[in-house]
Amino acid sequence: DFFGWLKKNNPIEDTVVIITSDHGVIRIDHSYLLFAAERRVPFIITGHGIRTNNPLRFEASIMDMAPTISYLLGIRYPERAAGRVFLEAIA
């Protein structure tokens, strides 16, 4: 439904959609000690300039999101940014 709405209401040819999440919570504990099952989260990226049928096969960090989004928008991100750009996903 979302992509149908996007095609109808927005120029999808110029759109990139990223679906991800923060860590899960196995126990109700918001300390910074994550359990192994909480360390992996979904990351789905699709749209203009994104490779198709190219699953990312490496460990990534939530800190990679800002540099990747900045890169796609053509915005400079801080040189000291801890994350990296998901160049493997970009066509």
Residue 30 has pLDDT above 60, yes or no: no
Residue 28 has pLDDT above 60, yes or no: no
In this prediction the pTM is 0.68
22 DSSP assignment: -
Mean pLDDT along residues 36-48: 73
pLDDT, the chain, mean: 78
Mean pLDDT along residues 38-63: 77
Better-predicted residue by pLDDT, 7 or 24: 7
In this structure, the number of other CB atoms found within 10 A of the CB of residue 38 comes to: 15
Instruction: Give, in order, the Cα–Cα distances in Å from 10 to each of 7, 45, 47.
Output: 6, 17, 12
Instruction: Give, in order, the Cα–Cα distances in Å from 86 to each of 13, 16, 50.
Output: 20, 13, 10
Q: Answer yes or no: are the C-beta atoms of 83 and 58 closer than 8 Å.
A: no
What share of the chain has pLDDT > 70, as a percent?
77
> What is the structure's pLDDT at 49?
86
- Alpha-carbon distance 17 to 3, whole Å? 9
